[in-house]
Structure 1
Amino acid sequence: MSRSLATYIALPGTTAEAMEHWHEVFGGQLEILRYGDTPMEDMPFEPDPEAVAHATLILPVGIIAGGDAMDDERDYPVQGTAYSLLYTTSTPDEARGYIEQLVDGGGSVGMPFEQAPWGGWYGQVFDRFGVMWAFSCDDE
């Protein structure tokens, strides 16, 4: 198996919905495996068969993986900067398009996408799942 590194996000029961939304926004190849799709007799716990055991969204720029957090792992907030993804685009218009789709999908702007003091462009959006998406690109 070749080596790779992927972002992994455990969401409180909303992984399938989040992955499907991100797939609509960014495209790519989405695979979702639910606990009910696997042999559950050897599991050390009793998961909801509809819960996401593992999901991957393979994009040209990287991989986002995740699963539903178990009940005892849901006591932490998702909204904030602990879960954040930095997406570097080719043009400001490409970033603006993604930002618009995330906001239209129930998200909110955390930091307006505008020229950054270091040159280039930068902004942040919190999607409806509480995940922060930072967008960056070089000058036009």
Structure 2
Amino acid sequence: MAKMNPYLNFDGNAEEAFNFYRSVFGGEFAGGIMKMGDSPGCEGITEAEKDRVMHVALPIKGGDMLMASDTVPSMGQKLEAGNSNYICISPESREEADHLFQNLSAGGEVEMPMQEQFWGGYFGSFKDKFGICWMINYDSSPKTP
């Protein structure tokens, strides 16, 4: 079965965002942070763009990977942030759900606070301070043996 990993784009603040995400999830970046200036063919980009992130990956508990890069405006790339994409996290406990919600939503905009839902989930959603939309959904329905 295929594995899906969210890949985010930023407009020059991918490193700041991923240092923030690492402070919430823990762990270390897989392969470090690759910069645009480290890649072949970067001669045509500006000096400021050479410090932008070409690729960063943060392993998340359970084997998932959160990945990102910055756009390169001089190559015609333009970030158009919107709500067409959410990252949904399914934690293993209500406590972990509260921890993730509280820390990831810090400085952002809460859409729906964490609360019990009719489908048996403990759910909340928000846009973080970097404009990324998140959903936290802990399955709190009783488990049948």
Quickly name the TM-score band, shorter chain normalised: 0.7 to 0.9
Task: Say if 1:117 and 1:4 are closer, same or farther in 2 by CA, change over 3 A.
Answer: closer
Q: Which amino acid aligns with 1:132?
A: C
**Alpha-carbon separation, structure 2, partners of 1:5 and 1:116:** 26
**Alpha-carbon separation, structure 2, partners of 1:73 and 1:38:** 17
**Alpha-carbon separation, structure 2, partners of 1:44 and 1:6:** 30
Match runs of 1:37-116 below 5 Å: 37-39=38-40, 42-43=41-42, 45-46=44-45, 48-61=49-62, 62-71=64-73, 72-76=76-80, 78=81, 80-104=82-106, 106-116=107-117
Instruction: Name 2:10's counterpart in structure 1.
Output: 11
Paired residue secondary structure (2:33): strand
Q: Which amino acid aligns with 1:124?
A: S
Q: TM-score, normalised by structure 2?
A: 0.81
In the TM superposition, residue 87 of structure 1 has moved relative to its aligned partner by 0.3
Gaps of 5+ in 2: none
**Alpha-carbon separation, structure 2, partners of 1:132 and 1:115:** 20
Gaps of 5+ in 1: none
RMSD: 2.0
Paired residue secondary structure (2:67): strand
Q: Which amino acid aligns with 2:109?
A: S
Q: Which amino acid aligns with 2:78?
A: R
CA offset digits 1:72-99 (Å, max 9, x no partner): 33251x2x42231000011122111111
Q: Which amino acid aligns with 1:13?
A: G
Task: Say if 1:133 and 1:75 are closer, same or farther in 2 by CA, change over 3 A.
Answer: closer
Q: TM-score, normalised by structure 1?
A: 0.84
In the TM superposition, residue 4 of structure 1 has moved relative to its aligned partner by 4.9
CA offset digits 1:37-76 (Å, max 9, x no partner): 334xx34842521011111111123101110012133251
Larger % of strand: which?
A: 1
User: 1:29·1:59 contact (CA, 8 Å) conserved in 2?
Assistant: no
Paired residue secondary structure (2:9): strand
**Alpha-carbon separation, structure 2, partners of 1:100 and 1:120:** 17
In the TM superposition, residue 139 of structure 1 has moved relative to its aligned partner by 1.2
